[in-house]
Structure 1
Amino acid sequence: MPIKAKICGINHPEALTAAADGGARYIGLVFFAKSPRNVSLPLAAELARMVPTGVRTVGLFVDPTDDFLDQALAQVPLDLIQLHGGETPERVAAIRAAHRLPVMKALKVETAADLDAASAYEAVADILLFDAKPPKDSILPGGNGVAFDWTLLTGRRWSKPWMLSGGLTPDTVAEAIRISGADAVDVSSGVEDRPGHKDPALVRAFLEAIRAVA
Structure 2
Amino acid sequence: MPVPEMFRIKICGLNDFENAIAVAHSGADAIGLNFFPKSKRRIDLTTAERIANFVRGEVQIVGLFVNASLEEITETHQKLGLDWIQLHGDETAELALSIYKETNVPIMAASRGRLHRWEKLPDGFQPHAQLMDAAVDGAYGGTGHLSDWELAATWRSDEQLQRFVLAGGLTPENVTEAISVVRPSAVDVAGGVEIAGQPGLKDMVKVEQFVSAAHRAFDAIT
Q: TM-score, normalised by structure 1?
A: 0.87
The partner residue of 2:175 within 152, 173, 197 is 173
1:149 matched to 2:113? The reply is no
User: 2 CA distance for matches of 1:14 and 1:172?
Assistant: 27
Amino acid at match of 1:31: F
- 2-structure distance, mates of 1:40, 1:163: 25
Q: Which of structure 1's runs of 4+ aligned residues deviate more than 3 A?
A: 116-123
Q: How far 1:185 moved relative to its partner?
A: 0.2
**2-side partners of 1:98 and 1:86: how far apart?**
19
Matched AA of 1:154? A
CA distance in 2, matches of 1:116, 1:79: 22
Contact 1:7 1:24 survives alignment (8 Å): yes
Structure 1 residue 153: deviation in Å? 2.2
Amino acid across the alignment from 2:77: L
Aligned to 1:198, which of 193, 197, 202? 202
Alignment of 1:5-154 (within 5 A): 5-109=9-113, 114-115=114-115, 117=117, 120=120, 123-134=125-136, 136=137, 138=138, 140-154=139-153
SS in 2 for 1:95: helix
2-structure distance, mates of 1:126, 1:22: 26
Aligned-residue offset at 1:133: 1.1
Q: Is the CA contact (8 Å cut-off) linking 1:155 and 1:181 kept in structure 2?
A: no
Shift of 1:118: 5.6
Q: Which moved more, 1:91-100 or 1:116-125?
A: 116-125
Gaps of 5+ in 2: 1-5
Gaps of 5+ in 1: none
Q: How many residues align?
A: 206
Which structure has the higher relative contact order (CA within 8 Å, separation 6+)?
1
Does the CA contact (< 8 Å) of 2:111 and 2:130 recur in 1? Answer: yes
Q: Distance in 2 between matches of 1:166 and 1:198?
A: 16
Q: TM-score, normalised by structure 2?
A: 0.85
More strand by share: 1
Q: Give the 3 Å change call, closer, same or farther, for CA 74–53 of structure 1 in structure 2.
A: closer
